[in-house]
């Protein structure tokens, strides 16, 4: 079962930093299937009979119960767009709640934290919702202080606490309101209770519009979703007899409708779907996606987390949209209470940019966006985002960064190839910064990059494998060799500058970063192609196998040009295809991946060009085979005597009125025609990569600093003179 641990939960509600943010959707799930309350009948409830008391004020039990009732009804009667998208059968009748009396002496009979660190309902009646007024604040202290959390500024907590895993059903849960919170009022109780009921229904926090949520200004808090983790200065209307209008936003409503849909009502609204991918097509889980209506981008916005349903496809969905124009942006999750495996990656923030969408920052400016058009009752699909590699470093390159918080905005990384002997990372700054590095996966903002002092006064690194932290200076170095612990290996190393106490949030600081790799000189070795002409299907003719080997670096190949040095005319070649030997058997087969169609076939210059590629060749792959296929149109070269012979045969048989013989002749003639049309004109093709300018590539470690090693030996003297 994937449940949120109390440690992550209390951090999310108790800690605030400029980098802190959360992901929309659900908290608890079973392999990506979210837990839900049953809507087949009203959910039983149990409510505290004691008053909600705080310092200098007292909220009576009837008043508190009235607030709780309207908070539940605010979700049950939710309809922000004119389309009722949330199941009307999700009901909690607080008028029929049974009375309970819970205090610091008996709360462990109702809720506790289990041995795995999860909230758990252990109430005598088991099923249902338990609403507890912690008038002294001692229940909250008893639950959370063992985890080092100061509960003084926590208004409330809530969580599902009992599950039926086989049915992914929530059976019990609780809400606890902190009556010892000194500033609690009826209005703040209304806000808190409605928010905590969202958690009770299994909604996670959201980081949508966190700029407005954290800027200490009430003027723009109307766009802050209710499930934002900190109470905003949004005006709470108490006069409505049934609900608290204006608290719940579109983002909250979509998450609720995803968990508790009202039939097919969501399908009558517009939606945007797509996938989040890396350069090599790998799908990415745990990326925060935001769709914003161009007419009102801060108010009308929906967020979702990629692949939180654990399908392995990087899928996201923005639903419950009005028809119109939208931007799509992605950003990293930070300190989320959702449970993800692996942790959500520290990716760069960027926009969907349609035709320019690319991992390459030279092609795709991550600050530029393209509108997505959506219509009612339609899904606009395949709006895929390739994660930008703006943070990629090349060996010897120096970049300047800025830090304004615990870590810089953009994570840096460098790919170390097989055969490298060392990696050195140097950072210079006039500010006291630490330098952290790790191999393989990105750092994650949802799992503390360093141990925060409120949990571990000794500090220390949680995610980093390598740390340089010299007091009172930002001049730091990390050197990784085969003798390091852990040792250097072929890997992408991720790098962050760390301001432990986030003092730079007030006064941003700059730094310079350089990464240097020592190793053999990188090169691409291009072997002479092996010509082996044979017909495939349709007009496709297999021509040759081309072998490429990366040494000393991993390469991104963008262009390959074949020069056909054969003797036959290419006038009947209309196109070409390039396949990668996916099954690595050295022979073209149906399982091999088509990576490109030719962008140009110049029959005069005898060139076949494949441009716009993104073909990754690793130094650890060994040799990589590609298969070149020509598309050849039929050009019959039959003699007039043969044609006349066939015509005479057909006519003669037809006059004798022997239908079967006549049909046989026609079939024989046709088969002779198609079987000879292709192959008698392609036997003299010989495509080769025979110039250093015939291949364009960039090393992932050394950039443009590599050589191309061509094998242009000839098989015979006649080949040389041809």
**Which tens digit of pLDDT belongs to each residue from 523-555?**
999 999 999 999 999 999 999 999 999 999 999
Whether 482 and 536 share a structural domain: no
Q: What is the rounded average pLDDT for all residues in the chain? A: 87
> Is 131's pLDDT higher than 50?
yes
Q: Provide the number of structural domains found in the chain.
A: 5
Strand partners, 593: 580
Domain boundary among 466, 496, 518: 518
Alpha-carbon distance of 272 to 303, in angstroms, equals 11
Lowest mean pLDDT among 399-403, 600-604, 647-651: 647-651
Q: Which two tokens stand for residue 400?
A: 């300047």
Q: How do strand 270-277 and strand 379-380 relate by DSSP bridges? A: parallel
pLDDT on residue 104: 95
**Average pLDDT over every residue of 336-361:** 87
Question: Among the ranges 18-32, 241-255, 656-670, which has the highest mean pLDDT value?
Answer: 241-255
515-537 as b/e, with b when 16 or more CB fall inside 10 Å? Answer: bbbebeebbbebbbbebebeeee
586-619 as b/e, with b when 16 or more CB fall inside 10 Å? Answer: eebeeebeebbebeebeeeebbbbbeebbbbbbb
pLDDT on residue 197: 97
pLDDT on residue 557: 96
**Average pLDDT over every residue of 19-34:** 73
Cβ contacts of 66 within 8 Å, gap of 6 or more: none
Tell whether 126 is covered by a domain: yes
Q: Which two tokens stand for residue 121?
A: 């309902």
Give the pLDDT band of residue 664 (cuts 50, 70, 90): low
Tell whether 11 is covered by a domain: no
> Is 652's pLDDT higher than 60?
no
pLDDT on residue 522: 96
Tell whether 448 is covered by a domain: yes
Whether 651 and 697 share a structural domain: no
Lowest mean pLDDT among 234-238, 340-344, 397-401, 635-639: 635-639
Q: CA dihedral in degrees (442, 448, 449, 451; nearest 10)?
A: -160
- Residue 646 — φ and ψ, nearest 5°? -65, -40
Strand partners, 201: none
Question: Among the ranges 15-24, 68-77, 145-154, 161-170, which has the highest mean pLDDT value?
Answer: 68-77
- Beta strands in 205-314, from DSSP E residues, in sequence order: 270-277, 287-293, 301-305
Give the pLDDT band of residue 456 (cuts 50, 70, 90): very low
> Is 497's pLDDT higher than 80?
yes
Whether 564 and 630 share a structural domain: yes
- Residue 72 — φ and ψ, nearest 5°? -60, -45
Q: Which two tokens stand for residue 287?
A: 């990326």
Q: Which two tokens stand for residue 654?
A: 């037809």
Instruction: Find the length of the chain.
Output: 722
Tell whether 2 is covered by a domain: no
Give the pLDDT band of residue 152 (cuts 50, 70, 90): confident
Cβ contacts of 570 within 8 Å, gap of 6 or more: 564, 601, 603, 606, 685
Q: Which of 288, 308, 339, 331 is nearest to 8 (CA)?
A: 339
Whether 472 and 530 share a structural domain: no
Whether 532 and 553 share a structural domain: yes
Q: Which two tokens stand for residue 519?
A: 């190793």
Q: Which two tokens stand for residue 208?
A: 């949508």
Whether 371 and 433 share a structural domain: no
Domain boundary among 338, 363, 386: 386
206-223 as b/e, with b when 16 or more CB fall inside 10 Å? Answer: bbbbbebbbeeeeebbeb
Whether 100 and 213 share a structural domain: yes
- Residue 136 — φ and ψ, nearest 5°? -100, -15
Tell whether 458 is covered by a domain: yes
Tell whether 50 is covered by a domain: yes
Pick the residue with more confidence: 3 or 487?
A: 487
Alpha-carbon distance of 559 to 369, in angstroms, equals 27
pTM of the model: 0.85
Q: CA dihedral in degrees (504, 510, 515, 516; nearest 10)?
A: -140
| Contact yes or no for 638/627 (Cβ under 8 A) | no
Pick the residue with more confidence: 120 or 658?
A: 120
Domain residue limits at 362? 269-386
Number of Cβ atoms within 10 Å of the Cβ of 77:
14
Name the DSSP letter for residue 11: H
Name the DSSP letter for residue 117: S
CA 450, 451, 454, 459 dihedral sign is negative
> Is 671's pLDDT higher than 90?
no
Alpha-carbon distance of 9 to 20, in angstroms, equals 13
Give the pLDDT band of residue 658 (cuts 50, 70, 90): low
Tell whether 264 is covered by a domain: no
Whether 504 and 565 share a structural domain: no
Q: What is the DSSP string of 620-633?
A: TS-EEEEEEEEEE-
Location of structure tokens 């210079």: 428
Tell whether 186 is covered by a domain: yes
Whether 349 and 215 share a structural domain: no
Q: First and final CA of the chain: distance in angstroms?
A: 70
Lowest mean pLDDT among 95-99, 102-106, 341-345, 495-499: 341-345
pLDDT on residue 11: 32
Name the DSSP letter for residue 241: S
């Amino acid at each position: 079962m994937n449940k949120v641990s109390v440690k992550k939960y209390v951090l999310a509600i108790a800690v605030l930093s400029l980098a802190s943010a959360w992901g929309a959707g659900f908290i608890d799930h079973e392999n990506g299937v979210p837990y839900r309350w049953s809507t087949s009948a009203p959910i039983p409830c149990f409510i505290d009979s004691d008053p909600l008391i705080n310092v200098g004020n007292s909220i009576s039990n009837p008043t508190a119960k009235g607030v709780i009732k309207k908070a539940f009804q605010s979700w049950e009667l939710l309809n922000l767009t004119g389309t009722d998208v949330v199941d009307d059968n999700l009901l909690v009748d607080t008028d029929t709640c049974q009375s309970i009396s819970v205090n610091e002496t008996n709360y462990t009979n109702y809720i506790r934290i289990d041995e795995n660190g999860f909230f758990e309902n252990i109430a005598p009646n088991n099923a249902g919702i338990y609403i507890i007024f912690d008038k002294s604040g001692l229940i909250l202290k008893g639950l959370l202080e063992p985890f080092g959390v100061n509960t003084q500024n926590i208004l409330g907590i809530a969580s599902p606490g009992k599950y039926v895993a086989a049915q992914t059903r929530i059976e019990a849960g609780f809400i606890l309101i902190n009556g010892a919170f000194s500033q609690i009022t009826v209005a703040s109780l209304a806000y808190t209770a409605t928010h905590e009921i969202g958690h009770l229904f299994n909604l996670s926090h959201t980081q949508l519009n966190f700029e407005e949520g954290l800027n200490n200004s009430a003027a723009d808090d109307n766009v802050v979703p209710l499930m934002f983790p900190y109470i905003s200065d949004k005006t709470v209307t108490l006069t409505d007899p049934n609900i608290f209008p204006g608290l719940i936003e579109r983002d909250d409503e979509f998450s609720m409708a995803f968990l508790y849909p009202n039939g097919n009502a969501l399908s009558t609204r517009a939606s945007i779907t797509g996938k989040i991918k890396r350069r090599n097509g790998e799908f990415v889980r745990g990326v925060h996606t935001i769709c914003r209506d161009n007419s009102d981008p801060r108010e009308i916005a929906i967020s979702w987390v990629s692949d939180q349903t654990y399908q392995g496809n990087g899928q996201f969905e923005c639903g419950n949209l009005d028809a119109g124009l939208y931007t799509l942006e992605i950003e990293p999750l930070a300190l989320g209470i959702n449970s993800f495996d692996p942790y959500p990656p520290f990716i760069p923030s960027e926009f969907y940019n349609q035709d320019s969408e690319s991992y390459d920052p030279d092609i795709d400016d991550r600050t530029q966006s393209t509108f997505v058009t959506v219509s009612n009752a339609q899904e606009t699909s395949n709006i895929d985002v390739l994660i930008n590699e703006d943070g990629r470093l090349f060996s010897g390159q120096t970049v300047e960064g800025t830090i304004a918080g615990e870590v810089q905005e953009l994570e840096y990384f460098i790919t170390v190839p097989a055969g490298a002997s060392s990696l050195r990372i140097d950072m210079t700054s006039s500010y006291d910064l630490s330098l952290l590095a790790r191999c393989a996966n990105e750092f994650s903002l949802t799992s503390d990059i360093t141990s925060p002092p409120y949990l571990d006064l000794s500090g220390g690194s949680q995610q980093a494998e390598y740390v340089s932290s010299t007091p009172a200076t930002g001049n730091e170095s990390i050197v990784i060799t085969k003798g390091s612990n852990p040792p250097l290996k072929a890997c992408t190393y991720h790098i962050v500058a760390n301001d432990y106490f986030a003092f730079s949030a007030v006064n941003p600081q700059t730094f310079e970063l350089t990464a240097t790799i020592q190793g053999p000189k990188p090169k691409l070795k291009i072997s002479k192609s092996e010509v082996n002409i044979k017909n495939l299907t349709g007009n496709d003719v297999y021509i040759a196998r081309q072998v490429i080997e990366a040494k000393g670096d991993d390469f991104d190949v963008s262009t390959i040009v074949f020069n056909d040095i054969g003797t036959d005319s290419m006038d009947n070649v209309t196109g070409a295809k390039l396949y990668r030997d996916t099954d690595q058997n050295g022979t073209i087969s149906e399982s091999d991946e088509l990576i490109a169609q030719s962008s140009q076939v110049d029959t005069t210059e005898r060139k076949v060009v494949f441009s716009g590629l993104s073909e990754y060749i690793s130094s650890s792959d060994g040799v990589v085979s590609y298969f070149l296929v020509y598309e050849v149109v039929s050009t019959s070269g039959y003699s007039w005597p043969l044609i006349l012979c066939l015509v005479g045969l057909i006519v003669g048989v037809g006059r004798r009125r022997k239908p079967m013989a006549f049909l046989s002749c026609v079939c024989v003639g046709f088969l002779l025609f198609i079987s000879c049309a292709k192959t008698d004109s392609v036997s003299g093709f010989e495509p080769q990569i025979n110039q250093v300018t015939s291949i364009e590539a960039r090393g992932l470690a050394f950039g443009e600093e590599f050589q191309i090693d061509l094998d242009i030996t000839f098989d015979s003297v006649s080949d040389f003179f041809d």
